[in-house]
Structure 1
Amino acid sequence: MSDRARPGEWEEARICTAVAGHARRRAWQEAESRMGVVLADPQVQRLRTLIEQEETRAGRELRDEFQAFQDRYEHAVRTGDVTALASLCPGKHGEWGRICVLTAGHEDRAPHWGTTPAGPIGWIGSAPEDD
C-alpha cells in the first residue's frame, strides 16, 4: 500500500487478510477431518498393515545388499563426515524413524532402504515430511 491510501483502505486490506486466513484454516480443518475418516476405515487399516509387512519383508530381503550403506551412514554420523552425509538420498520418514541410507538418485534402481528400531525397512515413495 502506498502512503496515499484512500480512507479505510488499510482496514479493508486487514479484513481481507483475516478472512483469507480464516478460510485457509477452515479448509485445513475440513481436510484433516475427512482424512481422519478415511484413515480410520477398516479396509484402509488392513492395507496399511499389509504395506508395513511388505516393507519389513523388503528390508530384510535387501539387508545383505545394502548393509554396507547403513554402516557407511553410521560411520559418517559418528565422525561428522558432512560430505558423506550430503551424498545420501534425501528420502526420510522421520515420523516412522526412517532415513534412507542409499546414495542420492538410487530411486530408479532400488527402493529407499534403511533401518528402524524394529529392524531393516525398504519402502517406495516419499512422505510429506521428506522436507
Structure 2
Amino acid sequence: MKYLILLISFLLSACAPARHVNLTHDVTLCEVKSNQNNYDGKSISFRAQINSDGLENTSLRDPGCRDFSLSIDQGDGDANWSEVNKIVYGVGDVGTADKIISADISGIFHKLPHNGKISVSSITNVKYSMINVKH
C-alpha cells in the first residue's frame, strides 16, 4: 500500500504542468541605481546607451539617470559584442564621441561602492545614430 501511494504521488507530480519562473528582472538603470541592494547578484534586463572610448573603457548608461553608469565585465559574460564593435570601430570616429549606440542588455548586476558592474550575457536590438561633433 505504501508503494502504491508513492507511485500515485509520483505520477501526479509528473503530470502537473511545469511552471516557468522568469528570474530576470526587467528594469531601468534608474531603478537599479535606487535599489542596488535588491539587484546585487541578480539577472537584470534593460535598455541602455553604450559609451566607449574605443580603447578599454566601455560603460552603460541611461540619459534619464544622471551620475550613474555600469561598467562592463566582458570577460564573465557570454554576450556577442560583434555588432556593437562594428559600430564603435567601423562607423565614424573610433568610440562613441560622434554617435549614440543603444541596445537591450541582459546580465548579472554586481553592486560596487560607486555605481555598479554587469556581467553581460546578452546584447540585442542594437541601434545607433550619428551626432554632430564640433572639432
Is the pair's TM-score, using the shorter chain for normalization, greater than 0.5? no
Q: What's the TM-score once normalised by structure 1's chain length?
A: 0.28
More strand by share: 2
Structure ranking higher in helix proportion = 1
Report the structure number with the largest CA radius of gyration: 1
Query: Greater relative contact order (Cα 8 A, min sep 6): structure 1 or 2?
Result: 2
Q: What's the TM-score once normalised by structure 2's chain length?
A: 0.27
